[in-house]
Amino acid sequence: MSDPGPAADPVLGASIIRAVKSAGIATVITVPDITTSDGLLRPISNDGSLRHITVCKEDEGIGISAGLSYAGKRSLILIQNTGFLDSINAIRAVGVEYEMPICLMVGLLGKQAGEAPTEARNYGVRIVEPILDAMGIARALIETENDVALIAPAIEAAYKTSRPTALLIGQSPGAE
Amino acid sequence: MMKRNECLEILADQLSDDAIVVAVYTTAFDWIKIRPSPLNYIFTGAMGLASSHALGLAIGMPERRVVVLDGDGSLLMNMGSLVTIAAQAPKNLIHFVAENGTYEANGGHAIPGAGNADFAGFARAAGYASASEFSELDDFQSGLGSLLQAEGPVFAGLKIEPGPPPEMDYRMMHGAQIRDDFRAALK
């Protein structure tokens, strides 16, 4: 068996935030998620250059993001996989059928680093990728620093093609 | 009790041409006949989301008035949006809720708490800048002007009679053309 080489560094929240900003995101709409709480949500909430909108329930974010996009404003919705599941109808209608650039960043609760989401212990995590695929929504798994390069192109593509995209956070981002 | 059409006609008379109106279901179909405009945003997609779409529009375009014509059944599906809107405090957002106590587009069945739930009270408690309700057309007509000038978020419950749903063209509501027209009208 060949040497797999050194493991990539775990993703840092600061790297994700830089990538998101480089894609023109100025507003982040959130419901707290323990996977992204310390490394991502807390620095976002303290970042004066981002407008942070806290919502009571995740599907509110789908409507807010759609409204912002008509105004030419880019936004990101940062939620947990449970919130994604709760928002399926809104994502279906507004994102998929209305072809709106809904950008989701979804923490996968309890998924182990290096484990495929479809092999996670948590059923609510295992079904995320198959649901996204069934809905035709582009997705990328972000859990190492190498994966950060996927973020900005995914957001740019969402706005260029006016289609939803999902960035799945596969392990807790590190705080700097 | 008022009739929805009568309320909408009064609103259309007093509303500026450049206002964006986010309207839901039966109200939307009545509204687009009374005030045809590409700035009518009737494509909210999922029931309950009108107030959230409106919040995004209001934040994104602070120079425009954004009016929501919500329903009581719709708002019950997104009650948290009252708190979210109050927290964001968009000064340009006016939130009307047609209170007929029924899911008019889905067979006229009663909403939970019909006749008891205090929607203006919910908005007031959530932190809207102002919240009121109207059950008489004369009061609505005389009070509307100041509502439209007030700093938002403003809430107004409209006590209206339930009625038969208007003819509803869902193909048009969910089609791409109306969204394209809205985008073009914003330019």
On the question of pLDDT at B3 being above 90, the answer is: yes
**A5: pLDDT confidence band, cut at 50, 70 and 90?**
low
Q: Where are the domains of chain A?
A: 26-169
pLDDT digits (tens, 9 = 90+) for B79-119: 999 999 999 999 999 999 999 999 988 888 999 999 899 99
- Is some CB atom of chain B closer than 8 A to the CB atom of A138? no
Q: What is the mean pLDDT of chain B?
A: 95
Instruction: Give the per-residue pLDDT at A6.
Output: 62
Give B131→chain A minimum CA distance, Å: 21
- Return the residue of B nearest to A28 by Cα: B56
Q: Does A62 touch chain B (CB under 8 A)?
A: yes
- Is residue A4 over pLDDT 60? no
Among residues of chain B, what percentage have pLDDT more than 90?
88
CA distance B81 to chain A (A): 7
In angstroms, the separation between the Cα of residue B50 and the nearest Cα of chain A is 7
Give residue A2's pLDDT band: very low, low, confident or very high (50, 70, 90).
low
Q: Determine whether the interchain pair A67/B80 forms a contact, defined as Cβ–Cβ distance below 8 Å.
A: no
Spell out the domain ranges in chain B: 8-135
Flag whether pLDDT at A175 surpasses 90: no
ipTM: 0.96
> What's the pLDDT tens digit per position in A22-52?
999 999 999 999 999 999 999 999 999 999 9
DSSP letter for each residue of chain A: -----SPPPBPBHHHHHHHHHHTTEEEEEE---TTTIIIIIHHHHT-TTSEEEE-SSHHHHHHHHHHHHHTT-EEEEEEEHHHHHHTHHHIIIIIIITT---EEEEE-TTPPTTS-GGG-S-HHHHTHHHHHHHHT-EEEEE-BGGGGGGHHHHHHHHHHHT--EEEEE-SPPBP-
- Asked whether the beta carbons of residue A56 and residue B55 sit closer than 8 angstroms, the reply is no
Q: What is the pLDDT of residue B104?
A: 85
Q: What superfamily would CATH give domain B8-135?
A: Thiamin diphosphate (ThDP)-binding fold, Pyr/PP domains (3.40.50.970)
Mean of pLDDT values over A56-83: 98
Q: With an 8 Å Cβ cutoff, is A63 touching chain B?
A: yes
Q: Is A26-169 in CATH node 3.20.20.140?
A: no
Give the model confidence (pLDDT) of B135-186 as tens digits: 999 999 999 999 999 999 999 999 999 877 778 889 999 999 999 999 999 9
Q: How confident is the model at residue B1 (pLDDT cuts 50, 70, 90)?
A: confident
Q: What is the mean pLDDT of residues A107-135?
A: 97
- CA-nearest residue of chain B to A90? B46
What pTM, to 2 d.p., does this model score? 0.96
Q: Does A167 lie at the interface with B, CB-CB under 8 angstroms?
A: no
